Amino acid sequence: MELKRLSRNVLYQGRVIDLIIDEVQYPSGNTSVREIAHHPGGAVAVPMFQDGSVMFVSQLRYPLGEHLLELPAGKLSPGEDPRMCAARELEEETGWRAERWEKLTSIYTTPGFCDEVLHIYLATNLVESPAGHQRSEGEFSMSVKTMLLSEAIRLVEDGEIRDGKTICGLLLVGRRLTGAG
């Protein structure tokens, strides 16, 4: 064992994250503290139309105090399959369904202090849901925006799209479609 856990304190159990404080021991015998923001994980859709345009959601991100342009995404419910989660979040946030799903990858958003993993899917063959979107009250600031993948990648390179999962999803789809690699 490389890092021995001496004690664990679950300091907070919340809506999105729990905070866990561990006391750990290094191989040298010295001790230290590790903070873990425990997150249930989530799933992300890159919803793409046949004309090469991608659907985004724009919403207020409270920790930053600004609106961000992001791919549709959300937290896993207990026991939920990540692909089903991506499909659920896509429909809830945008009112669209996808008939075709391809896994792109899974990412760790910030592994130094958090165990969050996000599963990212390319979602194509999009059809409008008769029910429309079903946003929660917490998503009151959300709106849908659509733009060409090429334009979105330009916004990534210009530093205007800054959300990590969104950058990963867009650039992976960009590589897949151009056959780069």
What the block records as the tokens of 64 is 């930053």
10 Å Cβ neighbour count for 67?
13
The CA distance from 41 to 32, in Å, is 26
Q: How are beta strands 4-13 and 18-25 bridged, if at all?
A: antiparallel
Cα dihedral 23/28/30/32 (nearest 10): -40
Q: Which of residues 135-174 bind its own copies (CB under 8 A)?
A: 137-138, 140-141, 150, 153-154, 156-157, 159, 162-165, 167-168, 171-172, 174
Which string of x and - marks every residue 17-36 that binds its own copies (by CB under 8 A)? x-x-xx-x-xxx-x-xxxxx
Does residue number 50 form part of the binding site for its own copies (CB under 8 A)? no
> Residues 23, 102, 137, 151: which is the catalytic one?
137
In the complex, minimum distance from the CB of residue 26 to its own copies, in angstroms, rounded to a whole number: 6
The CA distance from 73 to 119, in Å, is 9
Task: Reply yes or no on whether 89 is catalytic.
Answer: no
21 vs 129 by CB, closer to its own copies: 21
Among residues 57, 70, 123, 126, the one that binds its own copies under rule CB under 8 A: 70
10 vs 84 by CB, closer to its own copies: 10
Among residues 23, 58, 68, 135, the one that binds its own copies under rule CB under 8 A: 68
Q: 35: closest CA among 15, 12, 69?
A: 12
Q: 126: closest CA among 46, 56, 47?
A: 47
Residues 6 or more apart in contact with residue 1 via CB below 8 angstroms? none
Phi, psi of 171 (to 5 degrees): -70, -30
> Which residues contact its own copies (rule: CB under 8 A)?
2-3, 11-12, 14-17, 19, 21-22, 24, 26-28, 30, 32-39, 60-64, 68, 70, 105-118, 137-138, 140-141, 150, 153-154, 156-157, 159, 162-165, 167-168, 171-172, 174-175, 178, 180-181
